[in-house]
Amino acid sequence: MLAVSVKNLSWKYEHATEFALKGANLDIEEGSFVAIVGPNEAGKTTLVSAIQGLIPHSFNGVIRGYVEVFGEKVAEKSSLELAQEVGLVFSDPEAQFTAMTVQEELVFGMENIGLTVEEIDERLHWAVEMADIADLLDKSPFDISGGQKQRVNIAAILAMRPPILILDEPTSMLDPLGKDFIFDVLTTLREQVAMTLIVVEHNIEQIAPLADQIALVYDGQVVKVAEPREFFADSGFLSERHVEPPEVTALAHWLREQRYYNGPLPLKMDEALSISRDLLKREVK
Amino acid sequence: MSVEPTVQPTSIKKRRKTLLGFVPEESIFYNLHPATRLIIFIVSGFAPIWIDLPEINIAIIILLLVLFTVGGVDLSRLKIYLPMMVTAAIFMFGIRFLFPAYESGYIPLQVGPFTVYYQPIFWAFISYWRIFALVFASIFYFSTNRESDTLIALRAFRTPFAATYLMALSLRSAGMFMEDFSIIRQAEQARGLDTGALSLRDRIKLYTMYTVPLFSIAIMRATEVSAALFARGYTISGRPPGKKKRAVYILTLHSFKWLDWFVSIFFILLFVVIVYLQTVHGTFRIEHSPMNHFFYNLVTR
């Protein structure tokens, strides 16, 4: 079943001169992990805002086309319905805080969607464990590090258990350690939670091995959607659109050009090491 | 070569950061429900309004200082309020020197070139200690309670969720406004601006100019917070779908114990008694002040 279906979506923000999205199309299968990549100002955030319903509910502008979530049009759903179906974690961790302690921050969304105290308690413990933030519950959200803030935001949305979870550049404002923590959380989510995950991310090295599919957004359109190895197969197409493959994939491309290697493209370091070992063995023979 | 062991301080008071300062990590007052603490604050903060006697207001301040110590608050932090106390004294007494406000029956006093009158000066003295009893009660409250405690207390009093939420967002925006202001100032200093060398006129101009980036940032943040609220399914009424009653989870973590009932009832009764005694019997009026009698006898001798 399709979790998300974007059909010929065009969107122009109020007072903007150009459309941010220009007839974008994207289908996302339920339960899949989709990475959305592309250069700045390509329309990635606008696309996920439209999936979450912020567009057209919270922003003014001109819309053409539509977005469907589980077969129903987003424009026809209420904010409460959307919050229960699509969770959105923003890039700026601080801009999302609306409470005075981490614990209150986590329960806020659950209270909004009408859960009972018992349900809140059960989900709170689950989300805290998933995001590994048990020691932060009593702290002020402003008194913790950037990586911890973003984990709190992920836990806050996770606790609402939306079937679709979108993370819009969750690591863009974090230091390397904070980024690693977020990718650890994403790995845990991928392995343990049956959710449709949509992650807008610039860090292709780390997101590619996690994704089932990668979508390239360029100039307001989704210009390519494919399984990661297939996505990186045409490196020239990606380079023209300012997207570079992971270094290990780029190395394999070079080896292919030099006719040393003709196998599948690696996405992770251990895959690249295995290829290197095989090549070395062949050379020695 | 031997290495000297590092000397570890034996007692470091751990503190928690709040938007407006710090509170101790552990305090005897945390045994009380946040609602009880708010009641104590309201009573200790408002009672001085009904009390003219400086002796009692000074006693309240001394009692609050004892409570500061009992509550684990670092008394050295109170130093930051000293300039405020001095400035307030200069203004309150200075006005009586510059504008003595004579009425018949007032006792004139010659202080250098100034002719002042005893009664207005003593009223300034009364007001000064009354205000500071009130200020100290506020400092005490915010030194032993986090913003979230205030919200829990208000929610325990069944204040509408939207109102407490608005208050939380206001407190949050105040903290962020100060942080943005500090970043803008640091950026200016990094680019070589020496505000100490500026004339008063230029400083006023500079502060006026700060409003432009500060308001731009505030508008941007408001948009972001509004988007975050939308994503978390918040509606302006704060009511969940299906007209259900909102579950306030945080209240379930705090129970109102017998000690809370005892303390709350005691303070509420104390407040009622103070108001009753003053309005009906005038118990705390200036004419009952031993200090007033002493100084009056001194100046009329």
Smallest CA–CA distance, residue B112 to chain A, in Å, is 54
Question: Domain limits of chain B?
Answer: 14-159+257-301, 160-254
Tell me which amino acid residue B54 is.
P
Smallest CA–CA distance, residue B184 to chain A, in Å, is 18
Domain count, chain A: 2
Are A11 and A43 members of one domain? yes
What pTM, to 2 d.p., does this model score?
A: 0.79
Are A227 and A257 members of one domain? no
Name the residue among A80, A139, A140 with its Cβ closest to that of B233.
A80
Name the residue among B175, B221, B235 with its Cβ closest to that of A79.
B235
Q: Which helix (H) or strand (E) holds A132?
A: none
Over residues A20-56, the pLDDT tens digits come to: 999 999 999 999 999 999 999 999 999 999 999 998 8
Nearest residue on chain A to B149, alpha-carbon basis:
A100
Tell me if A216 is assigned to some domain: yes
Are A164 and A119 members of one domain? yes
Residues B72-86, mean pLDDT to the nearest whole number: 82
pLDDT category at B196 given cuts 50, 70, 90 is confident
Are A260 and A224 members of one domain? no
Are A129 and A259 members of one domain? no
Tell me if A66 is assigned to some domain: yes
Q: Which of residues 61-100 of A touch B (CB under 8 A)?
A: 79-80, 82-84, 87-88, 90, 92, 94-100
Name the residue among B151, B229, B244 with its Cβ closest to that of A114.
B244
Over residues B81-126, the pLDDT tens digits come to: 888 888 888 988 888 888 877 777 888 888 788 888 888 899 999 9
Q: What is the CATH number of the domain that holds A123?
A: 3.40.50.300
Within 8 A of B252 by CB-CB distance, chain A residues are 117, 121
pLDDT of residue B237 exceeding 80, the answer is no
pLDDT at residue A231, rounded to an integer: 92
ipTM value, please give it. Answer: 0.79
- Selected for mutation to probe chain B from A58, A90, A112 (highest B CB count within 10 Å) is A112
pLDDT category at B243 given cuts 50, 70, 90 is low
Tell me if A43 is assigned to some domain: yes
Tell me which amino acid residue B117 is.
Y
Tell me if A7 is assigned to some domain: yes
Can you name the residues that pair with B237 across neighbouring β-strands?
A: none
Q: Which of residues 149-208 of A touch B (CB under 8 A)?
A: 156-157, 160
Tell me if A239 is assigned to some domain: no
The residue ranking higher by pLDDT, B236 or A229, is A229
Tell me if A240 is assigned to some domain: no
A110 touches B: beta carbon within 8 Å: yes
Smallest CA–CA distance, residue A263 to chain B, in Å, is 44
By residue range, what is the domain housing residue A181?
Answer: 2-233
Are A156 and A190 members of one domain? yes
pLDDT category at B134 given cuts 50, 70, 90 is very high
Three-state secondary structure readout of chain B: CCCCCCCCCCCCCCEEEECCEEEECCCHHHHCCHHHHHHHHHHHHHHHHHCCCHHHHHHHHHHHHHHHHHCCCCHHHHHHHHHHHHHHHHHHHHHHHHCCCCCCCCCEEEECCEEEEHHHHHHHHHHHHHHHHHHHHHHHHHHHCCHHHHHHHHHHCCCCHHHHHHHHHHHHHHHHHHHHHHHHHHHHHHCCCCHHHCCHHHHHHHHHHHHHHHHHHHHHHHHHHHHHHHHCCCCCCCCCHHHCCCCCHHHHHCCCCHHHHHHHHHHHHHHHHHHHHHHHHCCCCHHHCHHHHHHHHHHHC
CA distance A179 to A164: 22
Burial annotation B18-44 (CB, 10 A radius, 16+ → b, else e):
bbeebbbeebebbebbbbbbbbbbbbb
